[in-house]
Amino acid sequence: MNVGWTDSAKRRLRLIHEYIAQHAPDTADNVVRQVLGRSRQIAEFPYSGRRVPELDDPDIREVMERPYRIIYLVRSDRIDVLTVMHARQLLPGDFETTG
């Protein structure tokens, strides 16, 4: 199944990269690579991630790439990554579930 990233998920991943890169540019690149690598897992096994505890929707799932949560929506024809966030953060209200 194809995996797409919403604009807000892309923006959050860029912000994570920029923050880490201030002190460790190579680490920032590796973190982004690892997060993006999870796309392969969810493309092959969409329901391998757990349900997001804060949401009451069985199609919104998450996988961890510690310390980050990758939250995504399983649709009938594709998967949309909704957001990427640090596990200690509260769930953001800016992710899109349409598109």
Instruction: Return the CATH number at 42.
Output: 3.30.2310.20
pTM of this structure = 0.89
Question: Is residue 94 situated within a structural domain?
Answer: no
Domain count, the chain: 1
Question: Is residue 28 situated within a structural domain?
Answer: yes
User: Which domain does 11 fall in, by range?
Assistant: 2-86
Question: Is residue 96 situated within a structural domain?
Answer: no
How confident is the model over 33-86, as pLDDT tens digits? 999 998 889 999 999 999 998 888 999 999 999 999 999 999 999 999 999 999
Question: Is residue 6 situated within a structural domain?
Answer: yes
pLDDT of residue 96: 61
98 has a pLDDT exceeding 60? no
DSSP codes, 26-82: HHHHHHHHHHHHHHHHHHH-GGGSEEPTTS--TTEEEEEETTEEEEEEE-SSEEEEE
Question: Is residue 81 situated within a structural domain?
Answer: yes
Beta bridge partners of 35: none
> For residue 89, what is the enclosing H or E element?
none
Question: Is residue 7 situated within a structural domain?
Answer: yes
